[in-house]
Amino acid sequence: MDKDSQDVHQELNKLKTKIQEAREQISTMPGISMSPEQQQQQLQNVREQVHTKNKLLQKYRSLCMIDIPKP
Amino acid sequence: MAVSERSTKEGLLSVLDDVEVLSRELIEMLAISRNQKLPQPGEESQILELLVQRDGEFQELMKVAQEQGKVHQEMQLLEKEVEKRDSDIQQLQKQLKEAEHILATAVYQAKEKLKSIEKARKGSISSEEIIKYAHRISASNAVCAPLTWVPGDPRRPYPTDLEMRGGLLGQMSNLPTSGVNGHLPGDALAAGRLPDVLTPQYLWQSSDMSMNMLPPNHSNHFMLEPPGHNKENEDDVEAMSTDSSSSSSDSD
């Protein structure tokens, strides 16, 4: 009986250690600090930012800054 | 609503905690049931079912976490692109600022030039008038000695004392003349020793009229000289005449 309880304790400790390792690995996983919906929203925002800035740059580069007034 | 807003990480950790608790309970229960009878026999199967359920939730959440990881990578790439665009925009901004500064300077300078042009236009003088004045100034040898000028020449680039007294104003005031031609007594010309080419010719006295315009107390030959000072004063004048910039006329 004592040996059984020792085995049980041993196995329980192993289980505890494994679960702790799993917790640590979960903590280091990237991108899960928000819900999937929040992440999708953020992704959409970043895509819009890129699109807007690309358009702005294109506009400034193609813009003729100097307008010669007609006589 | 609170559950849906919960992050995936929190969900995973929560499920993991449940799994830990349930598995510990199950193991303890199994350990106890080996030695004695359980008060509630169905409890083991309940715990087992809950454990299986939690495991299923954990697996689902892990799939979601994997997907989120891929989305996170895509978002990192997009954020790098955003940074690059930001730096491009900043570069353009600097260039625009520079261009604005250059244009502002050019506009300011152009305005200043227009002001100067307007000012010059208001105070414009005809070129003919300027040339006339230039002729008058240069004709009297006032800016440059005549080519035949030598030290000892009594000619000066300014009207001498005698000439001033010999003019209209002098005649009007009837001032007595002192010296000859405005020079000190004993002057070489006063001694009458200089050739005709060195006789003074000024703008207000033409060569033909120079003799006629002199006041009556002037000798045509400029023979006036104070007694006893001839040679010494000639030397003085010679010494003084060598310096063309010095004035030898004395106002009495």
CB-closest option in A12, A36, A50 to B81: A50
Chain A within 8 Å of B6 (Cβ-Cβ)? yes
Residue B123 has a pLDDT of 87
Residue B213 has a pLDDT of 43
Instruction: Give the residues of chain B that fall short of pLDDT 50.
Output: 1-3, 179-201, 203-252
Residue B190 has a pLDDT of 44
- Mutant choice from A12, A14, A26 vs B, greatest count of B C-beta within 10 A: A26
CB-closest option in B75, B92, B99 to A43: B75
Q: Which two tokens stand for residue B195?
A: 């050739």
Q: Do A43 and B34 count as a contact with CB atoms less than 8 A apart?
A: no
pLDDT in single tens digits along all 71 residues of chain A: 567 778 888 888 898 999 999 999 999 999 999 999 999 999 999 999 999 999 988 888 787 565 444 45
Q: Report the alpha-carbon distance of residue B27 to residue A9 in Å, rounded.
A: 10
- Mutant choice from B6, B7, B25 vs A, greatest count of A C-beta within 10 A: B7
* SS3 assignment for B2-70: HHHHCCHHHHHHHHHHHHHHHHHHHHHHHHHHHHCCCCCCCHHHHHHHHHHHHHHHHHHHHHHHHHHHH
State ipTM.
0.79
Residue B247 has a pLDDT of 45
Residue B243 has a pLDDT of 44
Q: Report the alpha-carbon distance of residue B153 to residue B176 in Å, rounded.
A: 24
Residue B73 has a pLDDT of 95
**Which residue pairs from B188-192 have beta carbons closer than 8 angstroms and sit at least 24 positions apart in sequence?**
B188/B152, B188/B154, B188/B234, B188/B237, B188/B238, B189/B154, B189/B222, B190/B222, B190/B223, B190/B224, B190/B225, B191/B225, B191/B230, B191/B234, B192/B221, B192/B222, B192/B223
Residue B125 has a pLDDT of 87
Q: What is the DSSP string of B147-197?
A: TT--TT----SS--HHHHHHSHHHHHHTPPP-SBTTBPTT-TTTTT-S-GG
